Structure 1
Amino acid sequence: MSLAYTSFEDLPKKLLELHLEYFEEALHYFQKLPQVRKGGMGIMGISKGADLSLSMASFLEGVSAVVSVNGCNANLLCPLHYRGSSMPALGLSRNRVIMRDSGVFNVRGCNNDPLALENAACLVPIEQAAARFLFVIGQDDQVWDSELYARQMEEQLVSNGKMRPEMLLLPGAGHLLEPPYFPFCPASYDKFAGTYLEWGGNPESHSAAQEKHWQRIREFFLENLGGAVQSKL
C-alpha cells in the first residue's frame, strides 16, 4: 500500500503539520487485511517519507522492518503530532542554497545539524523501535548527505544497545531512487520546495542502483517478515 499524506483528494495541499494518528490508522487497516501475514509490518519511505517511516517504527506498535531510502534522522518540513506531543521540524538555512546556471537549485547543504543541541527535539528516537533497519544510500545524493545521516543513526542505535542497521551504499546514485526501470531524473520540479531541485546521480550508475536496491529491499522484507527469499526481482 502506498499511503498519500498530502496533495491528494481531500488531503491538505501544503505540509503545514502532520499527525501520526493518520499513519497509525493506515497501519491498523493494513494489519487487518486477510492476505497480510501476522507478526509485524514492513514500511519503506524515500526522502520525507523515510523519516515518517522512522517515526512510525519509533512510536507505533507492530512495525518489524523499515527501509529508509535517502532519509534523514530528524523530522523534516513540518511538525509531527502524536497523542498530545509534538516533534518540531528540523530547520534549514536558505543562504546555503546553490543556484546552477540552468536555474535548478541545489539544497544539499541547507539542513541544519540534526545532532546540534538546539535540534535535539527534532531527532527521531529510533532507539525506541523494535524494528530492523535497512538504510539505502545514494552516494551522489544532492538533496542532503544521506550517508552522514545513516552513520549518525547507526551510532544512535548501537549506542543504545540495538542491533546494527544494514546499509546499502550505492555509488553514483542520486536522491530520487525509484523502482527499477523508472526514468532517470537528475532534476525536476519539487512541489514542497516550489521550484526545480537537483537530485544527483549519473544515468548508468543510478539505473543500476535502482535494480540493486529494489532486489535487496525485497529480500530484506522477506527475511524480516517471515517470507521465503527468492532470487528473481
Structure 2
Amino acid sequence: MKLLLAEDDAILADALSASLAKAGFEVEVAPNGAVAEFLLLKQHFDLGVLDLGLPMVDGLTVLKRVRAAKPALPMLVLTALDGLEHRVAGLNAGADDYLTKPFDFPELEARIRALLRRARGAGGGSAQQFGKLSFDRDARRASVDGALLDLSPREWMLLDLLLSQRDRVVTKDQIAESWAVDRSESGAGSIEVYIHRLRRKLEGSGTAIRTVRGLGYLLEEGES
C-alpha cells in the first residue's frame, strides 16, 4: 500500500517514514503543502497522511482540493492544534480521521490500517455496479449493460466524482476543482455541456443525473 506523508518537520517525517516502511508501507514524503497537493493529485496513493501546519500551502487547503478531486481517497490529518474547532474544521474539510500530536506510532499505524480496511470494504478501487452501469476505477472502464462507454477525460472525472458522492449533491465548484488537475480539454465546454453529454451516455443505465437547482447535481437510480 502506498502512502503520502506530508510533514514539514524533517526529523519527524524521517522517523515516521522509517516506521511506516518497517510496517510494510511504501511511503513518499512531501515537505510542504505545494508538493503534497501536486503528488496527491498527480500520482496514485492508497492513503494520505497530512499535517495541517504545512508551509507554502496550508494543510486544510490541500485537504479541500484533494477531497474535491479524489473523493474516495482516505485522508488522515495530523496536527498540533487540539482545540475542538480545529478538529471540526479538519473533518468538515474532508478528513476521514484526525490524530493530535504528540502521538504514539502504534496508534497512527492502527488508524491507517482501519482507514484502508474501510476503503476496501466500501469497494474503493474495485469494479462497482449501479443498475446496468459498471464502473471500474482501477481499470478506467465504464460500461452500460456490457457496452463500453466512450468517455473523455472530463466526462470520466465527472462520473467518478458523482459516483463517489452518490448520496450527496456535487457542486459546480467541486467539479471545477476536480477538472483543475487535467488540462487536456481546457476550454472545451461548460459544466452544463458535460453534464448533458454524460446524461446522454448514461441513457438506459438505470442511473440518472438530477439537477438540484441552486446547489449542483445528484446521481440517483432511475432514468433522467
Structure-2-length-normalised TM-score: 0.27
Rg (Cα) greater in structure? 2
Which structure shows the higher helix fraction?
A: 2
Structure-1-length-normalised TM-score: 0.26
